[in-house]
Amino acid sequence: MSFGIDKFISQISVRKALVVKMDFVVDNVKYYYNLLLSSGDARVKDWPLVQSPFPTLFICLSYAYFVKVIGPFLMKNREPLNIRWLMVTYNLFMVALSTWLFCNLGVYGWFGKYDYRCQPVDYSDSPEAMGMARSAWYYYITKFIEFVDTFFFVARKKFSHISTLHVIHHGIMPMSVWWGMKYAPGGHSSFFGFINSFVHIPMYLYYGLSAIGPHMNKYLFWKKYMTSLQMIQFVAIFVHSFQLLFRDCDYPIEFVYWIGSHAILFWFLFWDFFKKTYLTSSKGAREGQGKKANGLVKNGHAPTQFACSPTETLLNCMNGDAAYTNGSVQNGNGVTTNGSVKNVSVNGTTRNRKVTRKDQ
């Protein structure tokens, strides 16, 4: 009998201990959440989406769920949408927006007022400090606008372009930038947004021109150099960030590691892309030049996939029509129309060949 009572008392004690631990966890969560809300740059705490990270997190998760699940389901039994001119308009808008951001980040800091060796955050209410903070907020908002890149893939049923890597990258960027916006809207790490906005100018110009149609390809010979420019960008960000490990600077060291680590990761991803797109493919092009296989042109030249950026898919990029798919040509040497390739060039001659397309 006493054994049963002891067991019952023991169970009650365990339950009380669990309740105490849960209360402790809840109290700590509340404490740190309130600390998160009350901390950060007081100038921006009431700006849209800045006070709490959860709205940004919700938007990012919703984006990922839509492009991987809801979007493909809605488009499953529908024809791909013809949104070429919407893509052109969007990309040209991004050119203008990137130019505006680059100029703002430069005027308020990086055109001469900021020190490239060490730049603390100016938390004052001066026009320059507030201008830089506003520019940082607009840069943060562009990370949401860039979700449109993936929505175009969904609308055009280019599901193979919506890789897990692409979605994770797009999905985490707003969350990554949010921390800088919350605690350090300006200063040393704003160099990342400054140089990134500059690179986006030719990048989105390229996307806009390529979206007009295949007849623009002759003006887009500089795609290879875009990837090189992007890799140089990451080296510059890496060097600029990690130099603070070797000199005293009144700037949060956490952001040095955060931004520098992003630069290293993206550099290796782009180097891998560069090798696969330009080095390996060029070798295959030389070996297979002029070969024919069932009316398909294979390895006739390097793929027409083009350079990517931190705000683009790291593998397939924006213009799916300018990429090879299952060995067939889409808007490469010929124009794909209703499942056929017209005016396909093989060994320097022009032939009309019908090619069955597996990917509309």
Question: Is-catalytic flag, 188?
Answer: no
pLDDT at 165: 72
With a cut of 70, say whether residue 274 has pLDDT above it. no
**Arithmetic mean of pLDDT, 265-280:** 69
- Mean pLDDT (the chain) is 77
What is the SS3 string spanning the chain? CHHHHHHHHHHHHHHHHHHHHHHHHHHHHHHHHHHHHHCCCCCCCCCCCCCCCHHHHHHHHHHHHHHHHHHHHHHCCCCCCCCHHHHHHHHHHHHHHHHHHHHHHHHHHHCCCCCCCCCCCCCCCCHHHHHHHHHHHHHHHHHHHCCHHHHHHHHCCCHHHCCHHHHHHHHHHHHHHHHHHHHCCCCCCHHHHHHHHHHHHHHHHHHHHHHHCHHHHHHCCCHHHHHHHHHHHHHHHHHHHHHHHCCCCCCCHHHHHHHHHHHHHHHHHHHHHHHHHHHHHHHHHHHHCCCEECCEECCCCCCCCCCCCCCCCCCCCCCHHHCCECCECCCCCCEEECCEEEEEEECCEEEEECCCCCCC
Burial class (CB in 10 A: 0-12, 13-18, 19+), 80: middle
Model confidence pLDDT, tens digit, residues 18-60 = 766 666 566 556 554 555 566 789 999 999 999 999 999 999 9
pLDDT at 346: 42
Q: Determine which one of 161, 169, 188, 240 is catalytic.
A: 169
Which of 16-30, 141-155, 242-256, 291-305 shows the lowest per-residue confidence on average (mean pLDDT)? 291-305
Model confidence pLDDT, tens digit, residues 10-22 = 667 766 667 666 6
How many CA atoms are closer than 13 Å to the CA of 61, on its beta-carbon side?
6
Model confidence pLDDT, tens digit, residues 170-208 = 898 899 899 999 999 999 999 999 999 999 999 999 999
With a cut of 50, say whether residue 229 has pLDDT above it. yes
With a cut of 60, say whether residue 285 has pLDDT above it. no
Domain ranges for the chain: 49-290
pLDDT at 74: 96
Model confidence pLDDT, tens digit, residues 126-157 = 999 999 999 999 999 999 999 999 999 999 99
